[in-house]
Structure 1
Amino acid sequence: MRVALGVEYNGARYSGWQRQSHVNSVQQEVEKALSRICNHPVEVICAGRTDAGVHGTGQVIHFETQADRDMVAFTLGMNTLMPKDIAIRFAQPVADDFHARFSATARRYRYVIYNSPLRGAVLNEGVTHFHHHLDETKMQEACQYLIGKHDFTSFRAIHCQANTPTRTIHHLSVQRQGTYVIIDIKANAFLHHMVRNITGSLMDVGLHKQQPIWIKELLDCKERAKASATAKAAGLYLVDVDYPEQFNIPQTPLGPLFLPDIDVI
């Protein structure tokens, strides 16, 4: 039986999603709980590997098992076995041709900035604090240059191993909710650190260090060194993954949950 799971996690105390030796990872905790439920070793495949400190509210994984279990064993059962900062949001049997990574048609991230002169305490692990005022209107103006199919070399980590820097951004917006500035981005796929690198450059536009047209100049020059520094991991969330309707993957509310949902095609 092949099963898909929706996973939510606070990545603050993990060295990313991917299982690694000598460090704690989200994948390790999920596989440990699954192996107990199934009574045999289980390996999972995820829709998108997140870096150290990055969160997930819409991560999707799949695994295979010969154990005969009700889906409630993979939701309530796993949630009793895993740390409090990792939770299963849904469990769904899927066809054998479903693949959490390769069947995905798009991924969506949100970056949350707490834009206030003084730092907060309650949500400090889930947002990036930035004390200088950001002009979200200018940041939104800059977004238009990134939408569509482009070579994103200027926003790609130097050690990125993707075969091509070309990606297609379907949606990119910046909005303010009180003291929070939220960057919402959806694309067919992402390069390593792409969202955080785009965020860093948009923040410089929001500080009036650069004009919105500068984002287009960065795209055209294809030089990572010309763009801004990579934004911190703490504010980044993988919030949704799109799949063809044939797989019947459940739709769950986007996160972070205190922000309004934005309809995106």
Structure 2
Amino acid sequence: MLNVEDLPKNLKMIIAYEGTAYSGFQIQKNGPTVQAELKAVIEHITGETVDLQGAGRTDAGVHARGQVVHFHTHSNLSVEKLKKALNSLLPADIVVRNICEVSMDFHARHSAVSKTYSYCLYNSEERPLFERNYVYHYKAVLNITKMKEAVPFLLGKKDFKSFQAKGSAVLTTIRVVNFCHLELKGSLIVFTINANGFLYHMVRNIIGTLILIGREKINPSEMEQIIMGKDRAMAGETAPAMGLCLEEVLY
């Protein structure tokens, strides 16, 4: 009879990282990645080869406060000791915030119901210093009122093909945006959006379009026309990666 202690455990971890030095979350042949760093340290501590799965494949330069990963392990280390060991060995730009045991059928990506991202624009002639790796510095004056007027057009179940990067292959470009809002904090413009899924570069392309509206190049109501047009050429340019952050994954 198999001993209960011989059965694997499924561990869910919430991690945060600064994406500046990485070629993205997912392991790649060329360039450092968050997944590779985390996997290597887990395997060093447990002495096992693990299949580490993440909730989202953030791009190079994109940050996370609430990325979720999971892996199976036979290690008898408590989650408290494992967390302490991981944080003592991981690079300074990756932190494990929480570890808990979950059911064996839990999957960081497939079990997710929605994700929340934020994007930060630093709207000032003066360049940011301490925030420079976490914001997109945009010097030209933006009309925040008009940008806010455009945001509600993003809500609901819609085809967001206009905001999908060219060359992306997905079964459907329809997504459900549960909430989104734009707020001004001094020189910082923060856009927050939650949806059941995101297309490649979707948030960054929405930001590029909001910038066009903020510059008064197009009217706020044209956001609806851009969505209905299902044409990438109608939307704004792709905003840089450094302003984007994966805030939370909901299950």
- Report the TM range for the smaller structure's normalisation: over 0.9
- Superposed, 1:1-265 pairs within 5 Å as 1-243=9-251
**CA shift at 1:43, angstroms?**
2.1
CA distance in 2, matches of 1:132, 1:101: 38
Structure 1: 5+ residue runs without aligned partners?
A: 244-265
Alignment partner of 1:104: what SS?
A: coil
CA distance in 1, matches of 2:231, 2:148: 22
Maintained 8 Å contact 1:74/1:88: no
CA distance in 2, matches of 1:123, 1:35: 33
Q: Deviations over 1:171-227 (max 9, x none)?
A: 111110001000000000000000000111011111111100111110111100111
Q: How many residues align?
A: 243
Alignment partner of 1:73: what SS?
A: helix
CA distance in 2, matches of 1:241, 1:231: 22
The letter of the residue matching 2:21 is R
CA distance in 1, matches of 2:82, 2:237: 40
Alignment partner of 2:42: what SS?
A: helix
**CA shift at 1:95, angstroms?**
0.4
**CA shift at 1:15, angstroms?**
0.3
**CA shift at 1:157, angstroms?**
0.7
Maintained 8 Å contact 1:37/1:73: no
CA distance in 2, matches of 1:25, 1:13: 8
CA distance in 1, matches of 2:178, 2:30: 38
TM-score (norm 2): 0.95
The letter of the residue matching 1:42 is V
Q: Deviations over 1:99-137 (max 9, x none)?
A: 111111000000011111111111111111111122222
Maintained 8 Å contact 1:218/1:226: yes
CA distance in 2, matches of 1:22, 1:168: 34
Alignment partner of 1:14: what SS?
A: coil
Q: Deviations over 1:17-58 (max 9, x none)?
A: 000012100000000111011111222111111000000001
Q: Which has the larger radius of gyration?
A: 2
**CA shift at 1:73, angstroms?**
2.9
CA distance in 1, matches of 2:114, 2:30: 32
CA distance in 2, matches of 1:130, 1:124: 11
Alignment partner of 2:20: what SS?
A: helix
CA distance in 2, matches of 1:240, 1:161: 25
Residue of structure 2 equivalent to 1:247? none
Identical residues among aligned pairs (%):
39
The letter of the residue matching 2:229 is C
Alignment partner of 2:241: what SS?
A: coil
The CA RMSD over aligned residues, in Å, is 0.8
CA distance in 2, matches of 1:136, 1:2: 45
Structure 2: 5+ residue runs without aligned partners?
A: 1-8
CA distance in 2, matches of 1:155, 1:98: 30
